[in-house]
Amino acid sequence: MKKIGIVDTTFARYDMASSASDELYSTGTGFTVVRYTVPGIKDIPVACKILFEDYECDIIMALGMPGPMPVDKMSAQIASTGIMEVQLEEKRHIIEVFVHEDEAKDDKELAWLSDKRTREHAINTYNLLFDPEKLTANAGTGLRQGFDDKGPAMDSNGYSHRH
């Protein structure tokens, strides 16, 4: 039985953790979920470390919603740097799902985007843990989480360079 950690925040304006666990349970079995809620994104990295070391998680989804101000962007950068560091110390993946509040034009789109991006990354998380071949099958195809996929870049003959 694998363990998937979910870290979320009270700062976020959408309950991304519910989208994540709902999608994970729809995708497959063989895992349990451990959830840890912190106040803001800069509190996420140490929560990830605790989930890896004290709760023996195999992979973690880090769910955050950085605000629109320059100081929020700086917080996001520091949080991401910490998330990176924890991954390298633990040699395990943390899938960072950050939805920047200013990515959406209004609250409705923000809710939609938060739900969609979280769900698509839940599938990435599941695949990294149970089915990494699926990721390789989609390498270089321009997948995006949330807004539309961009698709592969085409050559002058209208074919992608997939070999």
Contact 40, 11 (CB under 8 A): yes
Contact criterion met (CB below 8 Å) for 77 and 42: no
Contact 4, 29 (CB under 8 A): no
Q: Tell me how far, at minimum, the Cβ of 9 lies from a second copy, in Å.
A: 7
SS3 labels along 137-151: HCCCCCCCCCCCCCC
CB of 80 to a second copy, least distance (A): 5
Q: Which of 25, 28, 32, 142 binds a second copy (CB under 8 A)?
A: 142
* 128 belongs to the binding site for a second copy (CB under 8 A): yes
- Residues 78-107 binding a second copy (CB under 8 A) are 78-89, 91-96, 100, 103-104, 107
17 binds a second copy (CB under 8 A): yes
Please, which residue, 56 or 85, has the CB nearer to a second copy?
85
- β-partners of residue 64 are 98
